[in-house]
Amino acid sequence: MSSLDDTYVQMGDFEQKLAEFSEVLARSLVDLTRQHEQAMAAWGNDRSAVAYNRSWEELSDALMKWSQGDAPAYLGFINQKRHILRQFLESGR
């Protein structure tokens, strides 16, 4: 079993990787949105375009939910728990 010091370090590593992932995902969403808008402008309103747009909206909504809601909430939660753990570890020294 790992020590609480190891847990603290691992939580920091996870927090950093989650933040990096979220930043890449947010940038990708901006780029994908721009490309989607260009494709839709050139495509028109046939059945394929409507089906594609529906699929895009589902994906876009999920990515937006992560970028604007879930990711900040998870990062805040992890940061809060790391802060509490750091206080606990420092109180015993």
* Distance (Å, whole) CA 68 – CA 22: 10
Average pLDDT over residues 71-80: 97
Q: Long-range contacts made by residues 29-34, C-beta under 8 angstroms, separation at least 24? A: 29/60, 29/63, 29/64, 29/67, 32/60, 32/63, 33/60
pLDDT value at position 6?
96
User: Is the model's pLDDT at 17 over the cut of 80?
Assistant: yes
User: Is the model's pLDDT at 2 over the cut of 70?
Assistant: no
Pick from 83, 62, 72: nearest CA to 21: 72
Which domains, and CATH codes, for the chain? 4-91 (1.10.287)
CA distances to 14, 19, 59, 72, 73 from 76, in Å: 13, 11, 24, 6, 5
pLDDT value at position 83?
97
